[in-house]
Amino acid sequence: MGYQCVRCSFPIKSLYVQYSPGNIRLMKCEKCKGVADEYIECEIMILMIDLMLHKQKAYRHLLYNVLNQQTLKFEGLHWKLAVIYLIFDACINLYVEARNSSSLVSTFCKVFVDVVFGNFMFLLTFFFMFKIFLNISNSISRFNDLLLAIMISCYFKIFLIAMMVWEFPTSVIFIIELFCLSSNAVALNVMTESSMSRCVLACFGAYAVKLFVTQVLDLRFLELLVQGWIQMSSSSSFSSEPS
């Protein structure tokens, strides 16, 4: 990924010229004639607010001009983000299961199933949607860029840390997931330049498949757990009968 103008997404060679430490001049876009990336001189809080407001300029700045392969070492970045993403997803499931007063073993098994298999189907559906709806090429580098954009745009999951400290209703989880879905759609729209409706459809399909798979696996796990408990009860009652 190369540098882009945050206004019109036109490729540019450099974002600024540095004359001396602390003395820079922002470059202008050759197409729209405006400043290519004004976020370079903005505070990080302004960028965060614009990201929450789903402004495409902020996403282009983050995905193209900050996370740039020419200046940033990508080695191991995908794995680190994947681990953080799975940890946040595990926190969601632990928070829900803790309210259900489940046993430790059943809680661990359900969290493992939801996090591993749910996210596997989530990514598999995403890549399928990329090819069908967004007409993405099969190059590995392109899929890596889109995977990075998906994980970065799930930054709303960081607010789950507050749920581990303060008491919140479970409806907050739904709101955070909804924000992640909309953020993923904007990131895909910026990366692929496809229509927003196609990006929303791709994101909604992936989240729907993930929810369906986790619900089916949870029901199957609950069924096996009940069957095992019945068998243990029947065997213990049979062994306790006098001969």
> Is residue 218 within 8 Å of residue 114, measured between CB atoms?
yes
Range 168-191 burial, b when 16+ CB lie within 10 A, else e: beeeebeebbebbbbbbbbbbbbb
Residue 139 has pLDDT above 70, yes or no: no
- Per-residue pLDDT band for 238 (boundaries 50, 70, 90) equals very low
Quick one: pLDDT at residue 183? 92
Between CA 26 and CA 14 the distance in angstroms is 9
Quick one: pLDDT at residue 102? 62
CB atoms within 10 A of CB 212: 13
In the structure encoding, which two tokens stand for residue 151, read together?
A: 């994980």
Residues in the chain: 243
Average pLDDT, the chain: 79
Q: Which stretch of 10-14, 43-47, 205-209, 233-237 has the lowest confidence by average pLDDT?
A: 233-237
Quick one: pLDDT at residue 3? 87
Angle between helices 118-133 and 77-99 (to 10 degrees): 120
Between CA 190 and CA 65 the distance in angstroms is 13
- Return the H-helix or E-strand segment holding 13: none
| Token pair 């729907």: residue | 208
Chain segment 146-195, per-residue pLDDT in tens: 888 888 888 888 877 776 677 777 778 888 888 988 999 999 889 888 88
Chain segment 83-100, per-residue pLDDT in tens: 888 888 887 777 777 766
Chain segment 15-53, per-residue pLDDT in tens: 888 887 778 888 998 898 889 999 988 888 999 999 999
In the structure encoding, which two tokens stand for residue 176, read together?
A: 């955070």
Between CA 134 and CA 138 the distance in angstroms is 12
Residue 226 has pLDDT above 70, yes or no: no
pTM exceeds 0.85 for this model = no
Quick one: pLDDT at residue 218? 67
CA distances from 83 to 24, 35, 151 (A): 37, 36, 10
Of 125, 89, 123, the C-alpha closest to 205 is 125
